[in-house]
Amino acid sequence: MLVLGIDPGSVNTGWALLESVGKKVNYVDSGVLSFNGSVTFLERLGQIKCLSDKLVEKFSPDDIAFESLIFVKNPSSALKLAQARGIILSSFVEKYQGRIFEYAPTLVKSSASGHGHADKESMQKFMDMVTGKREYKTHDESDAVAIALCHILNKDSKLSNVKKTKGGRGLAASLAHKV
């Protein structure tokens, strides 16, 4: 099974492709989609859509795993991230209906390190053990590897067909007082 992990962003989006064969996990490829930060956000959305379309056409994964939205103190940043994430999802939703999964950041961290509030170094050590030692260009790229790995490790759980986020307030509830 090929899993495409996505760490969405409005300027950089990390992506990683991992292959699960039985109990073995193989690293296939990873990278960062970088969007022109000097153009307006609305102009950037077209770039995000185009590069996301090309990514899924190039690899044709079996499943796609996203990290759920995180709480961000700046409402403007949260809204831009949500819009970019929606554009990225629009590249996948028709062809991959029922094969797109979402994981809470704490589940990603605990899957990739054993602790839901692990730092980047702890996660990196575990990912190196599973996929081999790698140098990633950005945290967006290594986060995407962790997201794909989280899906592989959790895909057969009883929650496999439901949203994998848990606990905490939703984004709308978190921002309600700011609107």
Catalytic residue flag (residue 67): yes
How high is the mean pLDDT in each 10-residue block of the chain (179 residues)?
95 95 92 91 93 94 91 84 93 93 89 69 74 84 93 74 41 41
Structural domain including 162 reads 2-178
pLDDT at position 109 is 84
Of 7, 63, 141, 143, the catalytic one is: 7
Catalytic residue flag (residue 7): yes
Tally the domains of the chain.
1
Of 63, 102, 140, 143, the catalytic one is: 140
Question: pTM for the full model?
Answer: 0.81
The string of pLDDT tens digits covering residues 98-146 is 999 999 988 988 887 666 676 777 777 777 777 778 888 888 998 999 9
pLDDT at position 34 is 93
The CATH number linked to 8 is: 3.30.420.10
Phi-psi region of 7 (alpha: psi -120 to 50; beta: other; left: phi over 0): beta
Torsion sign, CA atoms 76, 82, 169, 7: negative
